[in-house]
Amino acid sequence: MAANTPDDNTPDDNTPEDLSDDVLDADDDAGSSLPPAAGPLAYTVPEAAAGQRLDKALAAGLPDLSRSRVQALLEQGCVRGDGRTITDASLRVKPGQTFEVQVPGAEAAEPVAQDIPLDVVYEDADVLVIDKPAGLVVHPAAGNPDGTLVNALLAHCGDSLSGIGGVRRPGIVHRLDKDTSGLMVVAKNDRAHHGLSDQFSDRTLSRTYLALVWGVPNPTQGRIEGNIGRSSADRKKMAVVTGGGKPAATKYRVVKSFGMAASLVECVLETGRTHQIRVHLTHIGHPLVGDPLYGRGRSGRPGGKFASLLPEPVRGRLVGFPRQALHAAALTFRHPISGEIVAFRSSIPTDIDELIVTLESL
C-alpha cells in the first residue's frame, strides 16, 4: 500500500508509538461516541466548604463539572440531597451533607451529509486518511451543529458510515482540535473501527506532530511527564496536576531553533490526553505560538519574554498568529484488515511555513 511522499519540511518519523493531542486517546478518544448516562456522582460536604452555595461547592468537589453545568443540572432536577430533589443553586451547604448528581447521557443527534471538500490522502474500502485543515471541527457539538468533518464524511462515504462508532461521530476514532491541522484516519466499517480503536488502546498507532513554540526547550530533546486534568484556576483549560488527572507523557525533540525566541519541535505522545502537547509544552515554559488558550504564559502576554527578542514586524506576525501552530505531520498504523503497516506524511501548512521562513530570514 503506497504512502504519500515525505515532505522536506517534516523530520523523519523515528517514533514507535503515539496517540494524540487535542486529541483524545484510547481513554478519551476511541470507543463509543455516545456514552450512556453514568451512575450518580456523590459529593459529601467537607468542613472547608461549610456555608458555601451548593453550585459552588459541587463544582469544586466534582471537578469534571463546571459551575454553569452544575446550575443547569440543578434546574433539570438532577441533584438530590437529604432525600429530596434540590433545584436551589444558592442553598447553603453544611458539613457532612451528601448530594447525588445524576449526569444525563448524551443525546443522539443525527448529523446531516454536507458537501464539504476533503483533502483525501488515502482511501480504500475500510479506511480513509484525510489531511484536516485548520478551522474544521471534527464532529458536531454545541456551537457547531454542522459544517464539521463528520458532515463531510457522510457526504463522501454515504450510508456506509451510519452507526460506525456511534451516531454523533460515525467513523471517528480520534480527533484534532478545530485549529490543529494534519492527518487523521477514519474507519469505514465496524471491523476497521474496532481494529483502529485497539491500536489506540495498546499504543501501537503512531502519530508525530510538529509545533512552533516560543523559546527553545532545554534540553533540546527529552520526555515530559505529568498527569493532565482540568485546571483548578481556569475550567476551560487542562493543566499538569499534582493530584488526580490522567497519566501523560510526551517525547519531544527540537528540530530547528530561531535564536532563543522560537523553535520548531517534533512531539510524539506516549499517551494521548486532551490538549496534551499544548499543556505539556506550556508546563515546561514553551507554549505554542498562536495558542489562544495556553500561549500567554506567566506574563499574560503572547510569547512573554521570548517575543521581546524579536524585531518588528516579525514579533507582530508571531504574536498575531490566529491559531495554535500545531500540525499532525506523520501517521503510521497497521491496516485493520490487511495487517500491513502503512505510513503517511503531511506537509507543514502554508501559514506555519510562512512563519518559519520569516524566522529563518532574521
- Per DSSP (E only), the strands in the chain are 41-44, 79-81, 84-85, 98-101, 120-123, 127-132, 181-187, 206-214, 221-225, 228-230, 238-240, 249-258, 262-269, 326-334, 341-345
Within 10 A of 177 (CB to CB), how many other CB atoms are there?
A: 21
Under a CB-based contact definition with an 8 Å cutoff, are residues 4 and 121 in contact? yes
Within 10 A of 113 (CB to CB), how many other CB atoms are there?
A: 17
Under a CB-based contact definition with an 8 Å cutoff, are residues 267 and 252 in contact? yes
- Would you call 177 a catalytic residue per the annotation? yes
Q: Give φ, ψ of 188 to 5 degrees.
A: -105, -5
Would you mind telling me the total number of residues written for the chain in this entry? 362
Sign of CA dihedral 40, 45, 49, 54: positive
Instruction: Catalogue the long-range contacts made by 50-53 (C-beta closer than 8 Å, 24 or more residues apart).
Output: 50/93, 50/94, 50/95, 51/92, 51/93, 52/92, 52/93, 53/89, 53/90, 53/91, 53/92, 53/93
Which entry of 13, 177, 179, 291 is annotated as an active-site residue? 177
Q: Residue 328: helix, strand or coil by DSSP?
A: strand
Residue with cell 511555513: 353
d(CA 224, CA 244): 17
Which residues are catalytic, by number?
177
